[in-house]
Amino acid sequence: MKKLVTKLILAALILSIIPFQTAKAATTQIDKVVDIAHQYLGVPYRYGGTTPNGFDCSGYIGYVYDQIGVDMPRVSADQYNVGKAVSKSNLQPGDLVFFEKTYDKAGITHSGIYIGDNKFLSATTSKGIKIDSLNSSYWGPKFYGAKRVLQEVNLQPGEYQDVPQDHLAYEAVRTLSNQNVIKGINNTTFAPEQPVTRGQAAAIINRVLKLKPASLNGFKDVSANYQFAADIAAIKEAGVISGFSDGTFRPNNNLTKAEMAKIVQKAFKLTDHGIQAASAPYSDVAPGYWAYDAILTMHKIDTTKIFSGSAYGSSLKATRATFAASIYNSINAR
């Protein structure tokens, strides 16, 4: 237990200092299940309980797995029908363990979540959610079997579990990640629908352009020690992203898709792609709109098909997936 807590603390500290990453100790579904399961240690037992106000054994498993988007049957016997059977000697954290004859009833009567080191978490009638050994004098003889619900994905460099190969931004994300232009939320998660901020956009663009600023004193709300200060200053000096009339840059503001198109067009000097002669592909972008040429450029150079469709959505937030695709397309179009 001490080793596990130490690992979780170290992981949290490491993730807290990496740009674009959230402070999550768990990086995979298996890590997340174990992490979440520990959070409810000591919650009292309640027959029929399915919430942190009180759990029974199957209600506890259902609640924990629901936190990672995995639906589980309500009762232990039905939970045993989910997943792939694994032997006791091949257990891995996150596996479900099942027991029989824990009270006067035939068949499976109890279930828990294996956490490693021959230990498991479960809702007990005596002390609520607690850790026990599979080889204890009580649980050992009652062990019935185990099931593996979660399978680790064999990810190649630059791949993420939430950007499968059929995702429109897959190639863009994989390529740019391997070039260290973009980063995941953690080692296995990219969060493709998460919005991109103005500060992040400046940093990502400058990882490609590699510009050096003459000064870091460009905006009153961007201090010299801000993590993206040099990138913001460099991009400003290059005329790619300007600030606001009050002298601010607002690095934490989300970027719209129209703003994304405009700054990417400027950053990569995409001004010779026959846009004027092309027919407008979007019903919601009219000639004369301030980002009209830039938006049509995004469509013209798009090899990912992420900008296909009859509407562009200029005011929508630029996501990590669309921004990655715009950078990937622009690099290839230069």
Q: How far is CA 259 from the centre of its chain?
A: 24
Contact present, 145 and 85 (Cβ < 8 Å)? yes
Contact present, 35 and 7 (Cβ < 8 Å)? no
Q: Percentages helix, strand, coil for the chain, rounded to the nearest 5?
A: 35, 15, 55
At 68 the pLDDT is 86
Alpha carbon distance 220, 200 (integer Å)? 18
E strands, the chain, are 50-51, 54-55, 84-86, 96-100, 108-116, 119-124, 128-133, 143-148
Contact present, 74 and 56 (Cβ < 8 Å)? no
- Just give the CATH number of 29-148: 3.90.1720.10
pLDDT, averaged per 10 consecutive residues of the chain (334 residues), comes to 43 37 50 92 96 97 92 94 92 94 87 95 96 96 94 80 91 97 82 93 97 92 93 94 92 96 95 59 93 94 96 97 98 91
Q: How far is CA 132 from the centre of its chain?
A: 32
Contact present, 314 and 172 (Cβ < 8 Å)? no
Contact present, 238 and 183 (Cβ < 8 Å)? no
Contact present, 165 and 318 (Cβ < 8 Å)? no
For residue 208, what are the CA distances in angstroms to 145, 203, 211, 250, 260?
Answer: 52, 9, 9, 22, 16
Contact present, 184 and 190 (Cβ < 8 Å)? yes
Residues of the chain with CATH 3.90.1720.10: 29-148
pTM above 0.75, yes or no: no
Q: Which of 226, 225, 232 is nearest to 205 (CA)?
A: 232
